[in-house]
Structure 1
Amino acid sequence: MAAAAFHNIVGTLPAHGSCNGSGSQNWVGNFSWRAISKGVSVEIGPSRRVRHCVSGCKLGVIRASTSQTPVFNPVSLPSNNSGNDSRKKSNETALILMRHGESLWNEKNLFTGCVDVPLTKKGVEEAIEAGNRISNIPVDMIYTSALIRAQMTAMLAMTQHRRKKVPVIMHNESEQAKAWSQIFSDETTRQTIPVIAAWQLNERMYGELQGLNKQETADRYGKEQVHEWRRSYDIPPPNGESLEMCAERAVAYFKEHIEPQLLSGKNVMIAAHGNSLRSIIMYLDKLTSQEVISLELSTGIPMLYIFKEGKFIRRGSPIAPSEAGVYAYTRSLALYRQKLDEMLH
């Protein structure tokens, strides 16, 4: 009974309004977000990984609602339908982007690319801290790359979520894999979050640099050459991918598979890599090829976007759950946290 009541009350809350995305352009760390022109002042930050704290940012005034609309739906495999039917269901949803925590090759200062290495102890701690930052934000679908460091980050982050749903990796590689991973309890299914792993979200392939020490490579080829391989938009390393090539696959996957989920009302988290996420951010924020090459993403720091009426509004990095600031971004997030508080205390 308690589980059923909780299922009916807490979930992806319908939008009853949203903050106006207009206003001045600000920067948190290396991420920009737009302050609201009216309302109360809320400090976003500080955190140990935010380089340039912004305070006094004006956000829309949020008031509580008595809505008790049941909104959690049983888990189902994502649909690729991006037609008019899914667009009609569009409402305000959350999109969380999260770069994986520090990997063993990050620690060793090696080019990693598509080599599949796990997290360090520090990376595990970063993933858990990232989970604390998003513990009051609804998550209905999770997408990760096919690489273990991104999958570990997603799983560890969700251990901290107050909703306590269990992330379950969907195995669609064969009919047998689908059949063997089937869940036969409707109630258990409702308490899970499908996790879709896709190679298109992998880090860009660094070609012949993979496994090489970054400093030694700079000493061998020269700093300017290595910088060009790492930071130019359309010049790949030897037998590897450029950022442009990485963007082609990552953005195409986002538009075909992930955006339809947002349009249908799902809240989505993506755990991936520096370059695949830079590519997606380039699409979301309409950055130029020159702007995106200067975008740096820290490991284990989630970024929040609000998807409303077909537009993506950057909201910066959610801070610790003891801080109220991020939940004033939209009424639906404020209500979601309020209902978690009511049910869990």
Structure 2
Amino acid sequence: MLYGTGEDIMAQAKLVLMRHGQSLGNEANLFTGWYDLDLSPTGHEEARKAGRLMRERGLQFDAAHCSMLQRTIHTLHHCLDELDQVWLPEYHSWRLNERHYGALQGLNKEDTIALYGREQVQQWRRGFDVTPPDVALGSPHYPGHDPRYATLPKADIPRGESLATTTKRVLPYWQNTLLPSLQQGQSLLVITHGTVMRALIGHLNGLDPDDARTLEIPTGTPLVYEVNSVGIMRRLGYLNPPS
């Protein structure tokens, strides 16, 4: 991806990337992944606030994209309500789902540290190509049992992912769906998850894996890029920069 930093592009479209509002899993300090928990009360308000902020900045979109998980869907709906753009075409994709945390899904992070040790858990969380233990095929956390993924080939159904394998899953959606729309001048709102944000920001900003894996992504905070017809990007930054 080409990336511009000054007056080297004439932007034709806006891309807003945003992590969902705080979820019940975030609130409880869980490895959430594809575990389909809703927003916390704080997360609902974060999503509404983000929508109001985008409206105040005059952002208008042509389409909206999010994952298959309710914390992004509800975040998106709050944003569209506040933007008065509930009529936008809305697309959901498993490729925008959070990283699948394998056998760790649903576990409390501190309890997992007590069981496996802080260093091992940190490697599973932030090692670029370190994958946690696979989820068992009989587990309720195995996506193959979920009807929303019934049409996915078995080879595409994850049992555990690293940042590297999540990036490999996400980038085809960027290349084949999001980027072509942006190059046609369509402004997009994309609500997704922390690890997916790391993957996309790493790609768009040309970061090396070590820099991408250590990015801290705030919940409910819109990140804005400008895009021109040949796909050159300019990062404008967070609308409400985290402290």
Relative to the length of structure 2, the TM-score reads 0.82
Match of 1:222 among 113, 117, 125: 117
Residue 193 of structure 2 corresponds to: 273
Cα contact 2:221–2:240 (8 A) shared by 1: no
Q: Is the 8 A contact 2:182 2:231 kept in 1?
A: no
Unaligned runs of 5+ in 1: 1-19, 23-35, 37-89, 167-191, 321-345
CA–CA separation in structure 2 for the residues paired with 1:311 and 1:194: 25
What residue in structure 2 maps to residue 141 of structure 1? 63
Secondary structure of 1:193's counterpart equals coil
In the TM superposition, structure 1's runs of 4+ consecutive aligned residues that sit over 2 Å from their partners are: none
* Alpha-carbon offset, residue 165 of structure 1: 2.5
Q: Percent identity?
A: 38
For structure 2, which runs of at least 5 residues remain unmatched after alignment? 135-159
What does residue 21 of structure 2 align with?
Answer: 101
Deviation at 1:95, TM superposition (A): 0.1
CA shift, 1:132, in A, is 1.5
Question: How far apart, in 1, do the equivalents of 2:59 and 2:85 lie?
Answer: 12
| Greater RCO, 1 or 2 (C-alpha within 8 Å, sep 6+) | 2
Report what 1:313 is aligned to: 234
| Shift of residue 21, structure 1, vs aligned partner | 2.7
Distance in 2, Cα, partners of 1:127 & 1:107: 15
Q: 1:64-98 CA distances to partner (integer Å, 9 max, x unpaired)?
A: xxxxxxxxxxxxxxxxxxxxxxxxxx961000001
Report the CA distance between 1:245 and its aligned residue: 0.4
The CA deviation at 1:133 is 1.7
Q: Does 1:304 align with 2:199?
A: no
Q: Write out aligned runs for 1:1-345 (5 A).
A: 21-22=5-6, 92-135=12-55, 136-161=58-83, 164-166=84-86, 192-239=87-134, 240-308=160-228, 309-319=230-240
Paired position in structure 2 for 1:341 = none
Whether the aligned pair in 2 keeps the contact of 1:100 and 1:273 (CA below 8 Å) is yes
Post-superposition Cα deviations, 1:8-65, rounded to whole Å, max 9, x if no partner, equal xxxxxxxxxxxx833xxxxxxxxxxxxx7xxxxxxxxxxxxxxxxxxxxxxxxxxxxx
Query: In structure 2, the residue corresponding to 1:212 is in which secondary structure?
Result: coil
Aligned residues: 209
Shift in Å at residue 131 of structure 1? 0.7
1:232-254 CA distances to partner (integer Å, 9 max, x unpaired)? 10011111100000000111111
Instruction: Describe the SS at the equivalent of 1:97.
Output: strand
C-alpha displacement of 1:138: 1.4
CA distance in 2: counterparts of 1:285 and 1:21, whole angstroms = 10
Deviations 1:126-171 (A, max 9, x none): 001111121111111101000000010011011111xx222xxxxx
Higher-helix-fraction structure: 2
Residue identity matched to 1:318:
L
Structure 1 distance, partners of 2:164, 2:224, is: 24
Contact 1:91/1:263, CA 8 A, preserved across alignment? no
Counterpart CA distance in 1 for 2:240 and 2:195 is 23
Larger Rg: 1
Amino acid at match of 1:155: H
**What value does the CA root-mean-square deviation take over the aligned residues?**
1.8
Q: What TM-score comes out, normalization by structure 1 length? A: 0.59
**Secondary structure, aligned partner of 2:88:** strand
